Structure 1
Amino acid sequence: MSIDFALARENMVEQQVRPWDVLDVRVLDTLARLPRDAFVADALRSLAYADTALPIGHGETMMKPVLEGRALQALLPTEAESVLEIGAGNGYLTACLARLSRETVGIERHADLAEAAQTRLAAQGINNATVQAADAFAWNPGRGFDVICVSGAMAAIPARFVEWLNPGGRMFVVHGRSPAMEAALVHRTVNGTRVESLFETDLPYLAGAEPVPAFTL
């Protein structure tokens, strides 16, 4: 049985994302137009629009559509802004960010995932985004960004990522201990940082950002 991916994409937006208070027109339009099924493995295409996290290899997963929608709406990049995505995975959220921004740079620690993501971006005609293989805790961008999206959870909000924000910039990050994590928007201000709590969720940790194991007797 063939799947009507266009209908599945419409249902994802109307039945999953919009009811989760994602109401920004630009975000909804991006999710409605970009084929999520083009970014997942062939064996998982039938699940591309399901309300679930999908495996992408190396033990990593693709966020649920509702979480992607909430992250995009919280950040709301403009066509004049630059974006960094940390943990680009299969490149789908990178593509969404690129559609909303002037330019998007994604970093992914697994070289094969980064290469595949770059190929998918090119196949969709997205030429204002790049994905490179890099470990976020060893990499230095040598520049600042207006928007940063951290696509894996952190035990704590890392100062090194905040330093990559331009003044007035903002970063979406999920932090805390599973299963009670908090999604937050970190604003870089002239006086330092301001953390805006968004909602509770649970997300796999970014490699290297896991909590330090508690010592017990």
Structure 2
Amino acid sequence: MKEKDRDFRTARALMVDCQVRPNNIVDDRIVTAMRTLRRERFVPPALIGQAYSDAELPLGEGRTMPSPLTIGRLASFAAVRPGERVLVIGANTGYGAAVLAACGGAVVALESSADLRAMATAALAGEAPEVRVLAGRLSEGAPQHTAFDVIVIEGAIDVLPTALASQLTPQGRVIAIVRQRGVGRIVRAEVSGGGFAQIVLADCQAGPLPGFSPAQTFAF
């Protein structure tokens, strides 16, 4: 094993043991995935030394890669069962999609940025080749590839689009970070009356995703 690979392996173990497991991420599938997947392959080359830091990483275009703990929490709340169809919206470089695939999900990764999509495709080819990468507007989801059992949105949004409700199975759920009065909260949303009923699960800060702002209204 090369010295650099040994260093990354040590950093990966420290990430899991110091960041992930102490924060109630107890699903063995998630822990094993994060201990195994080479996160350094999912970050821009200039940031490779920060691949296992407890921080969001800038990806350009106003986008960020969520911290390892945020990915672990989203995956934990998603509670993907083997064989479930999963859509990751705002998949950026594909790390979160790879974690969910390692949990047994059949994962589709949706990304609007051509540059991030190219990074995801390259990284996933070596780490989780079963993940399918799609291009498209994030707020529209992937209506041509429904229905999904789970939709995970990897980034903070202001509004959960009701259009996603039609892309879920009857017992499907959305796990997302929704900003409320400036505070990000992980929510679990299930279809209710053509829209969503949401339950707040935990506070969580994350970089914003484009295209999820509330519709503007006009006052006279």
What TM-score does the superposition give when structure 1 sets the normalisation length? 0.89
RMSD: 2.5
Q: Partner residue of 1:30?
A: 33
**Contact persistence 1:87–1:152 (CA under 8 A):** yes
Q: Is the 8 A contact 1:84 1:145 kept in 2?
A: yes
Answer yes or no: is 1:136 the counterpart of 2:138: yes
Runs of 4+ deviating beyond 4 Å: 189-193, 211-216
1:197 corresponds to which letter in structure 2? Answer: V
Correspondence for 1:149: 152
Q: Which residue of 2 aligns with 1:70?
A: 73
Q: Deviations over 1:172-213 (max 9, x none)?
A: 111124641211111347997442211112222210113568
Amino acid at match of 1:50: S
Given candidates 102, 112, 115, the residue that maps to 1:99 is: 102
| Structure of higher RCO (CA pairs closer than 8 Å, 6+ residues apart) | 2
Please give the secondary structure, in 2, of the residue aligned with 1:170: strand
CA gap 1:204/1:213 in 2 versus in 1, 3 angstroms: farther
What SS is found at the alignment partner of 2:139?
coil
Give aligned-pair identity as a percent: 32
Give the residue type in structure 1 aligned to 2:120.
A
* 1:157-172 correspondence to structure 2 within 5 Å: 157-172=160-175
CA contact (8 A) 1:115 1:131 kept: no
Q: 2:129 aligns with which of 124, 127, 130?
A: 127
- Runs of 5+ unmatched residues, structure 2: none
Deviation of residue 103 (structure 1)?
A: 1.4
Larger helix proportion of the pair: 2
Aligned to 2:85: 82
With normalisation by structure 2, the TM-score equals: 0.88
Corresponding letter in the other structure for 2:137:
D
Which residue number in structure 2 is paired with residue 19 of structure 1?
22
CA distance in 2, matches of 1:73, 1:138: 24
SS in 2 for 1:152: strand
Provide the rounded CA distance (Å) in 1 between the counterparts of 2:43 and 2:188: 28
Aligned equivalents of 2:143, 2:50: Cα separation in 1? 35
Secondary structure at 1:77's aligned position in 2? coil
What's the secondary structure of 2:58's corresponding residue? Answer: strand
Change in CA separation of 1:15 and 1:139 when aligned onto 2, cut-off 3 Å: closer
